[in-house]
């Protein structure tokens, strides 16, 4: 933290029931040179990683579907959300994390993953950086049924669908998850599912 226009005055812990929610009071110097005090809440749940699994030969992708309570209380009538496989890093690096999460959630044991970009997903209130990956999958990589970690009470459905169908589901609103839309559009932009891909 080396911005000379920001001076943190106080950090107050509001909650650490699940992850960490703080109220941060700070002085901020605006472009005119005047200082003003502000307060913001910052939610720290750690950083994460997400991946799009694709099969170039079959023109398919693997996604997941699970219940997401925050969407349920904000207008998603079933609370179910279609997403790319994802998880929190915990103490792993991003590549190790996404390999682990891919096997837990989808049942595919992948080795060759490619990081394509990273992004703050909700920078107004959440500290998380999300690392985005892509990887090819094949049937012989399937080692279990997936579904998530039982000790985390995950109930994840594995969805394999055509890439074309997944893209259409963005337009119909069946896919509303930001990270999933970003990776599907990345795959489209880079012609990832064609033999002349430019990852």
Q: Is the pLDDT of residue 199 over 60?
A: no
**Burial zone of 4 (CB within 10 Å; 0-12 exposed, 13-18 middle, 19+ buried):** exposed
Sign for the pseudo-dihedral over CA of 34, 14, 81, 151: positive
Supply the pLDDT for residue 198.
44
Each residue's pLDDT tens digit, 176-194:
999 999 999 999 999 999 8
Supply the pLDDT for residue 1.
78
Nearest to 170 by CA among 180, 160, 157, 161: 180
What kind of architecture, by CATH, is found in domain 48-189?
Answer: Alpha-Beta Complex (3.90)
Residue ranges per domain, the chain? 6-44, 48-189
Each residue's pLDDT tens digit, 81-134:
999 999 999 888 999 999 999 999 999 999 899 999 999 999 999 999 999 999
Mean residue pLDDT of the chain comes to 93
Each residue's pLDDT tens digit, 16-36:
998 999 999 999 999 999 999
Considering the entire predicted model, what is its pTM? 0.91
Strands (E), 59-191: 60-67, 80-83, 85-88, 114-120, 129-136, 157-162
Beginning with the edge strand found earlier in the chain, give each strand of the sheet holding 35-44 in spatial order: 6-15, 20-29, 35-44
Nearest to 64 by CA among 100, 107, 109, 93: 107
List CB contacts of 66: < 8 A, sequence separation 6 or more: 80, 81, 83, 148, 154, 155, 156, 157
């Amino acid at each position: 933290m080396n911005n000379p226009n920001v001076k943190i005055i106080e950090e107050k812990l509001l909650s650490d029931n699940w992850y960490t929610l703080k109220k941060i009071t700070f002085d901020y110097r605006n472009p005119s040179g005047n200082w003003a005090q502000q307060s913001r809440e910052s939610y720290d749940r750690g950083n994460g990683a997400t991946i799009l699994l694709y099969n170039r030969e079959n023109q398919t992708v693997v996604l997941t579907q699970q219940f997401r309570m925050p969407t349920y209380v904000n207008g998603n009538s079933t609370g179910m959300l279609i997403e790319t496989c994802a998880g929190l890093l915990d103490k792993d690096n991003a590549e190790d994390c996404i390999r682990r999460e891919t096997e837990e959630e989808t049942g595919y044991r992948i080795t060759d993953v490619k990081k394509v970009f990273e992004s703050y997903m909700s920078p107004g209130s959440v500290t998380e950086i999300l690392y985005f990956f892509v990887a090819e999958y094949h049937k012989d990589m399937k080692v279990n049924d997936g579904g998530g970690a039982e000790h985390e009470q995950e109930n994840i459905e594995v969805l394999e669908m055509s890439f074309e169908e997944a893209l259409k589901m963005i337009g119909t609103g069946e896919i509303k998850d930001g990270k999933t839309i970003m990776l599907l559009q990345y795959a489209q932009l880079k012609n990832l599912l064609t033999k002349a891909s430019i990852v």
